[in-house]
Chain A
Amino acid sequence: MNLLRKIYKARYGYFFLLPHFILFLIFFLIPVGSGVYLSLFDYNVFSKTFIGLENYKEIFNDWLFKKALVNTFIYTFGVVPLWLGKALLVTVLIYPFRKPIKTFFKTIFYLPHVTSSVIISLIWLWIFNPNFGLLNYFMKLMGLNPVIWLGNKLTAMPSLIAMQVIMGGGSTIVLLSAAMASIPEYYFEAAKIEGANSWKIFSKITVPLLKPTILYALVMGTIANFQTFSNIYVMTQGGPEFSTITVAYLVYTTAFRDYNLGLASAMSMVMFVILVGLGIVQFKWLGSNVQY
């Protein structure tokens, strides 16, 4: 009775919260909870039967899933360090310049970020085009042989990684710049007076003070790149010879092309567990000595 009265007295809290929370419950919390449940079923167009852990057994015996997992790791660990390194480098390099120059470069690096990944993928399909593409034109200018960038299983994955690194980083640069602007300038001044060189200042002052932001960018970047889908769907469909198939793409084809929803759910659960694991490792690795 007491609780009910409390709830009645606070009814406006619920009145404001519930419209969003009901949608959040139906379209977010329930799906999160039922992912595990679905992965225990043989769930297709015709039937839904409980099969326990069979789906997990099946995917771990499936060479294609393992291939997709390895590819996803290669892609993520190819993109994330280079992309974060680029973002850090640009942030540090634009820092001393006046505001208009900073804004100019931030704008340039941010532009690919408001352009959708489908559009970026279409552009790069055209750039990578073996016969008429811009990249092979540059190759010829330098006296090199044209390359079938996306049609060769050795170059397809590196091409996708390079594209992501070249186009990415905009929002991280903005984020890091904001964090760096909040570092008191006399930290850098003092270090300079003490005779510290640029690398010392970067590694001993800039990076440690930016750590929380770097950690945030690292975790979010890992999550985002681990789920890479649009570029695979538009550019390679996982080929050639499955050399660019990623878990997210395999989940998509398993669920919405083969309509094997239980198996696909098991795959996304494995992906989730790996991402949680990576997140914990990153927090452990960078999270110590972080001052908020």
Chain B
Amino acid sequence: MTKMNRAKLVKNTISLIILLVLGLMAFIPLYWMVVTALKPPTLVLKFPPEIFPKNPTLMNFRQLLQRPYVLRWTFNSAVVAGSVTAVRIILCAMAGYAIAKKRFPGARLFFWIYIASMMIPNQVTLIPLYIIVSNLRMINTYWGLILPSVAAPFGVFLMRQFMVTLPDEIIEAARIDGASEFQTFWKIIFPISKPAIAVLGIFTFVNEWNDFLWPLIVTNTTAMKTLQAGLVMIREEIPMEYALHMASATYAAIPMLIVFFAFQRYFLQGITVGAIK
């Protein structure tokens, strides 16, 4: 018995060592971002580098916020990510409800179109999408930043998968109680779909905040850029200010880290949502 315990102990120790090494490799870069951001710019170039900063300072963040457009980019990112999330939740819940619970000619066909579309890489739609958005005069507007993301098929699929598990009796009961179609959806279906809505909302918000390619293409003035594109622009303008780069990266990462820790349960329960990095 003790022999078995010892074997188990050795095995667990080896497992932990491997996990810690791999975990540290992924964690050190994030740590280094924050630490660099907290150092005065002159200390950043010191050799050997200070692994633990002795005199942390917020001066890089102050400098960052004093730069033109930084607050505007933050506002843009918040507006875009917030609007996409809100509109997407409502429209996808409605469409998911229709496909899951309503019987109408073509319902199955719509479902299969949505499913097949999820496998299409977004590079394929990029250029035609740009031309359409440009024809609709939406280049460099919030509409152009928001609407194409709302249209993505995944949310409908997710909501449908959840709603199909809801018993038909609750809809029937609402109807007998005299609720209109819209009331049934808004007062009954929408509230009980909270778990799926939370997942869709959280992942949409994070993905939109972090998105880079589409905002890069669809905006053409500095004022309309989102934070991600703005960070790249700061680096291009002042390539040697490493402390400021890391402060800007930390600044853009903090809202997502807050979202992550606030909704950790949803992220770690393993729902097949979002792209794989």
Residues of A within 8 A of B (CB): 3, 6-7, 10-17, 19-21, 23-24, 26-32, 34-35, 38, 86, 89-90, 93-94, 96-97, 103, 105-120, 122-127, 129, 132, 134, 137, 164, 166-168, 170-172, 174-179, 198, 216-217, 220-221, 223-224, 226-227, 229-230, 233-234, 248, 251-252, 255-256, 261, 264-265, 268-269, 271-272, 275, 279
Contact = CB atoms under 8 A, between A and B. Distances in A.
Nearest to B129: A31
Interface centre among B110, B121, B181, B271 (most CB of A within 10 A): B121
Contacts of B176: none
A192 B111 CA distance: 44
A123 B32 contact: yes
Q: In terms of DSSP, what is the predominant structure of the interface of chain B?
A: helix
Given A26-B151, A38-B127, A15 B181 contact: yes
Contact of A3 (B48, B105, B212): B105
B260 A110 contact: yes
Given A16-B95, A38-B131, A115 B253 contact: yes
B117 A28 contact: yes
A134 B32 contact: yes
B245 A122 contact: yes
B26 to A, nearest CB: 6
A265 B206 contact: no
Interface in B197-221: 206, 209-213, 216-217
A136 B124 CA distance: 39
B19 interface: yes
Binding site of A, secondary structure by majority: helix, strand, loop or mixed? helix
Contacts of A16: 94-95, 97-98, 102, 185
Interface in B107-130: 107, 110, 113-114, 117, 119-130
B42 to A, nearest CB: 12
A112 B122 CA distance: 22
B228 A29 contact: no
Contacts of B53: none
Contacts of A126: 32-33, 36, 242, 245-246
B30 A13 contact: no
Given A108-B23, A110-B268, A119 B213 contact: no
Contacts of B270: 174-179
Contacts of B232: 118, 122, 233-234
B267 interface: yes
B245 A116 contact: no
A28 B152 contact: yes
Given A118-B229, A171-B274, A227-B122, 14 more contacts: A13-B98, A14-B104, A16-B97, A28-B117, A86-B22, A90-B22, A114-B206, A115-B253, A118-B228, A122-B248, A198-B11, A226-B121, A252-B213, A269-B124
A107 B32 contact: no
A115 to B, nearest CB: 5
Given A174-B270, A178-B270, A35 B127 contact: yes
B151 to A, nearest CB: 4
